[in-house]
Amino acid sequence: MIEIRVNGKTLKVPEGVSVAAAIALSGHDRFRRSVAGQPRGPLCGIGVCFECRVTVDGEPHVRSCQLLCWPGMEVCTDD
């Protein structure tokens, strides 16, 4: 298990889990908002739709389904 932070809360997740899965484990179902303000979340899970974008360690628009967690990672959703 490793520790990451999702929206400021510490979360223990299995090593090798994707950021999208970690966010889902944390209980969040909204990953970002559309330009019109609608909630968005993962759709394809394979890096095609870009609906799962979040901010990771200050870098915006990271596709969370394509990135594995590392210890100390800071993830922010557009909640």
Instruction: Write out the residues near ligand FES by the rule CB under 6 A.
Output: 42-45, 47-52, 63, 65
What is the rounded distance in angstroms from the CA atom of residue 55 to the CA atom of residue 63? 9
Within the chain, what is the greatest distance between any pair of CA atoms?
Answer: 37
Measured from the CB atom, is 3 or 70 closer to ligand FES? 70
> Which residue, 13 or 52, has its beta carbon nearer to ligand FES?
52
Q: Angle 30-47-23 (CA atoms, 0-180°, nearest 5)? A: 30
Rounded to a whole number of angstroms, the minimum distance from the CB of residue 41 to ligand FES is 8
Smallest separation, CB 36 to ligand FES (Å): 19
